[in-house]
Structure 1
Amino acid sequence: MSERQVTHERNPTPTSETRISNPLDLRSLQELIHEKALLYPDKSALRFRDHVITYHKLNNSANQFARLLADYGIRKGTIVGLAVDRSPEMLYCMLAIVKAGATYLPLDPEYPQARIEFMLQDAAAAYLITSEKYSGRFQTAAKEILMEDLLRQAPQYDVSPPDAAITMQDVVYVLYTSGSTGQPKGVQITQLGLVNFLIGMLKEPGLDQHDKVLALTTISFDISGLELYLPLLVGAEVVLTDVQTSRDTRHLMEIVRQQGITVMQATPATWRMMLESAWDDRLPLKALIGGEALSKKLAERLLEKCDSLWNMYGPTETTVWATLKKINIDDEIITVGRPIENMFAYILDNQLRRVPDGTVGEIFIGGVGVGVGYLNRPALNEERFMPDPFSPLPGARMYKTGDLGRIVNGGEIQCLGRMDHQVKIRGYRIELGEVEHALGKQTGIKDVVVLPKDERLIAYVVQENGTLPNFSAWQQALKTSLPEYMVPSNFVLLPRFPLSPNGKVDRNALEAMGQEIEKANRVYTAPRTEQEKLIAKIWEDYLYVEKVGIKDDFFELGGTSIVAMQIMARIEKETGKRLPLASLFTANTVEKLATEMELDDQSISWDLLVPVKPTGTKPPIFIVNGLDMNVLLFNNIARNMEPDQPVYGFQPRGLNGVDEPFETLEDMAAEYIAALLERDFPDGYALAGYSYGGVVAYEMSRQLQAMGKKVKMLAMFDTYAYNKGHFETGVPKYIRKIKRQFPKFLFITQSLIRHPKETLDYQQAFFVRKYNEIAVYIGLQRPPESDRAEDKINEKYEAAYRKYHMQTSDACAIDLFRVDTRLYYLDDPLYLGWKPYALKGINVHDVKGDHKTFLMPPNDKDFAILLQQLVDERMKA
């Protein structure tokens, strides 16, 4: 008799209680949703921004899409990649693929391109449904189907359900998950597993037709299945967020209140951020939490704000959540409870034998939710998906989770972290979870992650509000319960942890940060003077950091160019003191900025040439900004270029509110050149300009060439060159305007389909601006009055641009960075008007984002890498 047979006889029951029903009674996902669509045809099924989709509309659209997909050749066994932005059409496609009997492969377009391409190739996806926005982006053998084509063709199809031979063993989706094995691996989940999970969730935590469920999770994370499908099984409403909203917890709080959300699911990291987002009142909210360990402190805070709190546990390989527990305020130990219906949980040793209650072992999950296995990973399947020796059902399997746990409270499971978080330091084996658990109990620590580095342990800590770090006290407390080799030798204080797209703490990102994370070690030094206290308070308000010390770095606290503008405006309002944004490059701490504010107005530097990152031995790049005049925007570029790459920016004259702005664009270019030549830079310049600044950089290149200087690189950051229309008069001017109206209308229509919210926002702002201009022109209203230096400069510089006559130049070829998301019409979207002027040619480089976002996270990193490559190439020539 084998060891597993012996184990089975010794342990005929699972180690945690399980509710068992007949899984053969379960019906498919599409049948259950169709049933509710017939029962609640006019009830809201899905809400997205201002769009409300009824059950009738949702079900009929999914049926039409499914029939259309069948005509494309999608049928049972086909794997279909889905890479679209969050929208009602995303859900139509997910349901349609399932209704067609096929398998969907969810792909978040925000994920790295290489990762998406790997998943498409590894899964051998036959089709990829995407939108025009992402068309041609991914190198794949999959046949591309555009969402815009589906939307146009689907209304021609019948709304009745397609006749596909669906079985409960069909694979609904393949979802890729990372792990210790390196490459992502595709988990195959069946209809039976998914429906059993959903039916289990309907019983506990429970849901009915009056509920509203917030769907904020990327479809590349398995828990999104609960948010999107569970409400549709009872006649409830899905409130779907877009990707920007899902990352903004303040906006999420607004939606929870305004939409009357009753159920929300998120990771502990997201819930923590929600609690920091002006959440002062108690809400009628059922909070579901999982994905990472739930601390008692976080549980207590959530129980004060919510109706109920449910802690969930389950790997992707066992269909979302496999166990759950309703948390109570008096729970001494936070557990993940007991298995859901038709699921089993076992705590076993390395011989697959049950360990006594209270003893630590590995968690194994069995039951109908165990997936088919990893796609194309036979060796890994044999290791992780194994026969279940405890189940009476023939062929039953269980999944080896790699998580440590134990049975407490008479049958509940307490999770104790990953087995692969075990490390060896100086010969000692250490469970990082044990150290984290001990540290998490210390006063002042809100959250902690412990990682090994150079034969020592480093604790990354997020503090409680209003507490001071006490490293020595923490270490002494640990020494009373842990051996000395398990006590971290260093503590790194962070305002928040980096998160993965799934909302979990990204341990790999913490490790990869290396020296950067060490710099973020914030030893708090309290403000001393009234000036320092004021600045620290302003930084706290705008950076959402609990306590800002006088040594804290603005950029390491998450400071951006937009936040810098808000902070400087607030400082000027509070003190009457105007400081250049560029001062934050050198006065980047509260202490330094307070010292800067003590200077008299004549001593404050308003130099035209600003050292964004002056260190490094490579040839520097000089960047001219656009009309927003925010030179800190170039910090995003500088921080993502190589450490040895100097970066300088130009800021306009007049920002101090005293000096007069330049009258002509030629004067501006000449003054910038004078500021450049005052410094000892070698000949052979790399120039660049953003938006309006590109035209200035172009004029600088012409003037430098006329002076006998060499320009080796001239880069345009989404700059449009055409301005001949400013000099047209009479009939030709009106003929040109009339001719462009129809293509402009077509462009706006297509843009509304691709980017509805962004396009509407832009068009609304455009029409308001035009209305005000006309109203001023015909005397209906007075010109707006402003004391802001920036408004005065803008007015002068726009006038200078209208007077500027573009001339051809052979100073050097132009490197044109062109955004891939355009929200406004251009006569020349290919070369942005530069072709007639660039006599040495144009090199076009497409970059991610729109005109405002391509220099901002997350696009700034890819942009800077490309720019660095080009600077290196051009400056060697």
Structure 2
Amino acid sequence: MDQERSDTLNIGFGPAATYQKDKPVFEYIAEIAQQYPDKIALSFEDRQMNYRHLDETSNRIAHILIAEGIKPGDVIGLSLDRSPEMIVSLLAIIKSGAAYIPLDPEYPADRIEFMLEDASAKILFTSKKYQGKFNTQSQELYIEDILFKLDAQPTTQPQVTVKGDDLIYILYTSGSTGKPKGVQIRHSNFANFILSMKEEPGLTADDVLLGVTTISFDIFGLEMYLPFIVGATLIITDTVTAKDGRALLEIMRTQGVTMMQATPYTWRMLIEAGWDKPLPVRVITGGEPLAKDLADKLIPLCEELWNQYGPTETTVYSTIKHVTESADITIGKPIWNTQIYILDEQNNNLTDGSVGEICIGGDSVAAGYLNRPELNEEKFIDDTFSGTPGGKVYRTGDLGSFKENGEVNCLGRIDHQVKIRGYRIELAEIEYILSKQKNVRSAVVLPRTDMGPDLRLVAYLVLEPNEEDLVQQMESWRQALADALPEYMVADDYAVIDEIPQTPNGKVDRKALPDPRPFIVRRREVYVEPRTTVEKLVADTWAEFMGLEQVGVYDDFFELGGRSLVAVKIMARLEQETGKRLPLATLFEFSTVEKLAQRLQVDGKSITWESLVNIKPKGTKMPIYIVHGAGLNVLLFNALAMNLDADQPVFGLQAKGLNGIDKPLDNMEEIAANYIAEIVAKNPDGPYALAGYSLGGIIAYEMARQMIEAGRDVRMVAMFDTHITQTERYDSVIVKLFRRTRLLIMQLLYSFVLLAQDPKRAIEYKALQLKRRIIRLWWRIKGADQSQEGFFGYSNELDEENKRAMDNYFVQPVNVAIDLFRAKKKTFYMDDFKFMGWKPYAKKGVRVHDIPGEHNTIFAPPNDQEFAVVLQKCLDEAAVKKD
């Protein structure tokens, strides 16, 4: 093995090891057969096979395959029950020069038929038990017929040349289109993997490995080949035994098992079956995340616990970690000749601990997907990091980050992120916190669309046996999430079920999770029935729009899962029923049925619609005042506020005219002066930190200009992805025409750039732009004839007035520094991408802070957390400065 690279310079690089890349795996096995001819290689029930028999039988079957016309590069599908014949046949296929497709006979017939057709399998190697089961063009060979011909075949290995770039197998994984996709693994890919496993976690000729994995799961490759390249013994079980925890435990106790790999589900099954005393076995867990509570149970029961990670596309496992304590669970460091990169949206390698996509390069990266050139281009990108000519890096679709010691934290699937309540959230983060709670054995969180008009986050929980009150436990789960996460990530409902459904590979089967409603823990003990007509109106309205059976007087809007979209609908209904219009921000202060009902009973004329909203009013630090964007209200800023320091006050400024009564302002100077008046009335002495999102940034800039002229202490002016262009009001017709034509051309050209970078998102964004323009045009044509009742009517007028204010606003340079929080992902063209147009106007300069996400997602998780860290640092620095 070459000298390992410096950890400081090469974080994410596995050991650089030398091996014979053109030496196929079966040659290592043949060498072991020569070394240990009489040693038991394979054990199944009451049958045993030594290494000589294993080698010679596989050679004989290989000769039969060649006689049937098999040539190097051909593909053979193998569908046999778990048995010695299955193992020997797989070995024979690769000795013939062919590649195999492992097909579990229990899989649906149409799935197997698709794989055979997609791979153009020349032969289906199966049993007469399955004769006629599959509708395929592949020639069927039956193991019974082949065994009958064995004695007539030579025992020597066929003279077939197999090189490292030849395929050893094609393994099909689930595809997003509903059709599985075939991953092509080469002999060199597999040799690098299995030789690395030989060193760590390590296996010797004295070991006994128990194999329980289905043939169609890629980790089966470790079970089959690792024992055979070192001279160890492989015990395989039949399909029924592999699913029986008691039977497996008996084998472990009585047959000298020293190593076993399985998914966390199987390890839990063994513990539940009665594994309560230590055994001299090395435990390998993979396929799914290792939970802390499971690690706590396994560590004292086994000799060693190893956590491994890797997608099928990078040959079984790519990282490895010896877990010695449950507080230190990661997926570890890369195996031989493997590189791990954590990439952001611009393919920058994040070695500083930031979260990005786990991408894997090196010798174990597959040859790509079979017959899927477009997907290959998307998922197998050029390796521009290691300097390896022609190298590829696989994008796993998993989120991760580096620890300081070079180990990798895996944070779950990117595609398990869901957009809910306007935010993109990572379900694995919620599941992780729930799994750490007392009495929780396992947790899966799923968004449901069938429980009301809006998405609801449902936590499915399997509990340890306990006598504690379920309602109290539920409250503790909710509180644990509330303490660690923004409120929009707190699960709405908690369903206690007996077990989490699994796929045949032992992974969580999210599609099989039941309707949660019969299993949801309800807070009936604290339910108080509405006492007045108004309370009943509020409770019934909440129940209708939030998909709840009942709502009590003391139930909290946010705890029940209420968010901005449903708040709009609720407030519109309450306005329709009572004739009283309340600002959405009312819910910050009046969040229970009781309090909101009391607010509705106040004389409508006395309900104030102040622009200044208390989002997070308590704290001793310099407050920040954030001006609304085009969305007009300030509920959007709640997540950012909750991620700032506990002692950081945050206030929002919502648009005047949201009540549909006050006339909206169409002059930027007047809008700014109105907001300043409300701020100064509550905080006359300052200091002040001003910020604005999108359009709100321009309002905040004008507020800063006026406040500085008035001698007020403005310490910070922040733009949240705000782009500024000077008004065309004073330009000639020719200049206007030239500028608009140039802008239109540049926008069109930039659209092609966006399409190349992210076609799906570019199309979504352009469609949203078109929709907004249609709505604006419709409003201009029909607006005068429309009623201003309800939230959806007057918002268009406000939008028009804000645009008019912007079009008429002449931007003047101000003696101020601007902190520009710039979204890393661009979704529209600007003349100045670096400073977003602000440099000519900020006399003291523009400080740029790149934040994750795009314009519409900078407040969405996990972006909000990183945004808050950067913003808080700027606020703290600004608080101690005074010009």
CA–CA distance in structure 1, aligned partners of residues 174 and 519 of structure 2: 27
Correspondence 1:495 to 2:498 = yes
Give the secondary-structure state (helix, strand or coil) at the position aligned to 2:484: coil
CA–CA distance in structure 2, aligned partners of residues 417 and 350 of structure 1: 17
Asked whether the 8 Å contact 1:198–1:230 carries over to 2, the reply is yes
Q: Look up the match of 1:253.
A: 249
Asked whether the 8 Å contact 2:63–2:153 carries over to 1, the reply is yes
* TM-score using structure 1 length: 0.57
Which runs of no fewer than 5 residues in structure 1 stay unpaired?
1-10, 526-877
Q: Look up the match of 1:387.
A: 382
Give the secondary-structure state (helix, strand or coil) at the position aligned to 2:149: helix
Correspondence 1:16 to 2:18 = no
Determine which of 18, 22, 28 is the counterpart of 1:32: 28
* TM-score using structure 2 length: 0.57
Relative distance call for 1:13 and 1:128 in structure 2 (3 A) is farther
Relative distance call for 1:502 and 1:465 in structure 2 (3 A) is same
Cα deviation 1:49-100 (Å, max 9, x = unaligned): 0000000001100000000110011121111000110111101110000000
CA–CA distance in structure 1, aligned partners of residues 444 and 202 of structure 2: 33
1:267-416 mapped onto 2 (5 Å cutoff): 267-329=263-325, 332-416=327-411
Comparing 317-326 with 431-440, which one deviates more in the overlay?
A: 431-440
Shift of 1:467: 5.6
Amino acid at match of 2:460: Y
Shift of 1:182: 2.9
Amino acid at match of 1:137: K
1:791-870 mapped onto 2 (5 Å cutoff): none
Cα deviation 1:214-273 (Å, max 9, x = unaligned): 111011000001001100001100001000000111111011111111000000111111
Amino acid at match of 1:300: D
Correspondence 1:78 to 2:74 = yes
Relative distance call for 1:12 and 1:164 in structure 2 (3 A) is farther
Shift of 1:17: 3.5
Asked whether the 8 Å contact 2:196–2:335 carries over to 1, the reply is yes
CA–CA distance in structure 2, aligned partners of residues 66 and 467 of structure 1: 60
Determine which of 434, 442, 454 is the counterpart of 1:439: 434
Determine which of 473, 477, 491 is the counterpart of 2:476: 473
CA–CA distance in structure 2, aligned partners of residues 134 and 248 of structure 1: 24
Q: Look up the match of 2:444.
A: 449
Amino acid at match of 1:175: L
Amino acid at match of 2:416: H
Asked whether the 8 Å contact 1:14–1:345 carries over to 2, the reply is no
Q: Look up the match of 1:484.
A: 487
Asked whether the 8 Å contact 2:13–2:338 carries over to 1, the reply is no
CA–CA distance in structure 2, aligned partners of residues 224 and 467 of structure 1: 40
CA–CA distance in structure 2, aligned partners of residues 47 and 178 of structure 1: 32
Cα deviation 1:278-319 (Å, max 9, x = unaligned): 112100010000111111111111001000000000000000
Q: Look up the match of 2:573.
A: none
CA–CA distance in structure 1, aligned partners of residues 503 and 371 of structure 2: 25
Correspondence 1:417 to 2:412 = yes
Cα deviation 1:94-133 (Å, max 9, x = unaligned): 0000000001000000011111111111111111011011
Give the secondary-structure state (helix, strand or coil) at the position aligned to 1:480: helix
Shift of 1:18: 1.4
CA–CA distance in structure 1, aligned partners of residues 308 and 133 of structure 2: 37
Shift of 1:159: 0.2
Correspondence 1:107 to 2:103 = yes
Amino acid at match of 2:437: Q
Shift of 1:20: 0.3
Asked whether the 8 Å contact 1:15–1:354 carries over to 2, the reply is no
CA–CA distance in structure 1, aligned partners of residues 371 and 445 of structure 2: 34
Amino acid at match of 1:427: G
Asked whether the 8 Å contact 2:353–2:404 carries over to 1, the reply is no
Give the secondary-structure state (helix, strand or coil) at the position aligned to 2:159: coil
Cα deviation 1:832-865 (Å, max 9, x = unaligned): xxxxxxxxxxxxxxxxxxxxxxxxxxxxxxxxxx
Determine which of 133, 149, 152 is the counterpart of 2:145: 149
Amino acid at match of 2:511: N
CA–CA distance in structure 1, aligned partners of residues 9 and 170 of structure 2: 31
Correspondence 1:519 to 2:515 = no
Among the aligned pairs, what percent are the same residue? 49
Q: Look up the match of 1:773.
A: none
Determine which of 138, 141, 166 is the counterpart of 1:170: 166
Larger radius of gyration: 2
Correspondence 1:236 to 2:232 = yes
Shift of 1:519: 3.3
Amino acid at match of 2:406: G
Relative distance call for 1:171 and 1:14 in structure 2 (3 A) is farther
Give the secondary-structure state (helix, strand or coil) at the position aligned to 2:320: strand
1:45-64 mapped onto 2 (5 Å cutoff): 45-64=41-60
CA–CA distance in structure 1, aligned partners of residues 269 and 161 of structure 2: 45
Asked whether the 8 Å contact 2:21–2:191 carries over to 1, the reply is no
1:625-704 mapped onto 2 (5 Å cutoff): none
CA–CA distance in structure 2, aligned partners of residues 341 and 101 of structure 1: 26
Q: Look up the match of 1:192.
A: 188
Asked whether the 8 Å contact 1:494–1:522 carries over to 2, the reply is no
Asked whether the 8 Å contact 2:78–2:102 carries over to 1, the reply is yes
CA–CA distance in structure 2, aligned partners of residues 484 and 342 of structure 1: 43
Shift of 1:491: 1.2
Determine which of 62, 83, 87 is the counterpart of 1:87: 83
Asked whether the 8 Å contact 1:99–1:162 carries over to 2, the reply is yes
Asked whether the 8 Å contact 2:103–2:215 carries over to 1, the reply is yes
Q: Look up the match of 1:426.
A: 421
Correspondence 1:217 to 2:220 = no
Amino acid at match of 1:509: A
Determine which of 261, 268, 285 is the counterpart of 1:265: 261
Shift of 1:145: 0.6
Relative distance call for 1:438 and 1:154 in structure 2 (3 A) is same
Give the secondary-structure state (helix, strand or coil) at the position aligned to 2:192: helix
Determine which of 135, 157, 160 is the counterpart of 1:161: 157
Which runs of no fewer than 5 residues in structure 2 stay unpaired?
1-6, 450-454, 525-883
Give the secondary-structure state (helix, strand or coil) at the position aligned to 1:133: helix
CA–CA distance in structure 2, aligned partners of residues 523 and 78 of structure 1: 59
Shift of 1:480: 1.7
Shift of 1:180: 3.4
Cα deviation 1:405-460 (Å, max 9, x = unaligned): 00014200010000001111121211111111222222221110100002110001
Shift of 1:24: 3.9
Cα deviation 1:311-366 (Å, max 9, x = unaligned): 0000000000000000012x533101100011111111011101142211110001
Give the secondary-structure state (helix, strand or coil) at the position aligned to 1:80: strand
Give the secondary-structure state (helix, strand or coil) at the position aligned to 1:118: helix
Amino acid at match of 1:184: P
Cα deviation 1:546-591 (Å, max 9, x = unaligned): xxxxxxxxxxxxxxxxxxxxxxxxxxxxxxxxxxxxxxxxxxxxxx
Asked whether the 8 Å contact 2:182–2:370 carries over to 1, the reply is yes
Relative distance call for 1:521 and 1:54 in structure 2 (3 A) is farther
Asked whether the 8 Å contact 1:190–1:372 carries over to 2, the reply is yes
CA–CA distance in structure 1, aligned partners of residues 522 and 23 of structure 2: 58
Cα deviation 1:751-799 (Å, max 9, x = unaligned): xxxxxxxxxxxxxxxxxxxxxxxxxxxxxxxxxxxxxxxxxxxxxxxxx
Amino acid at match of 2:27: E
Asked whether the 8 Å contact 1:14–1:346 carries over to 2, the reply is no
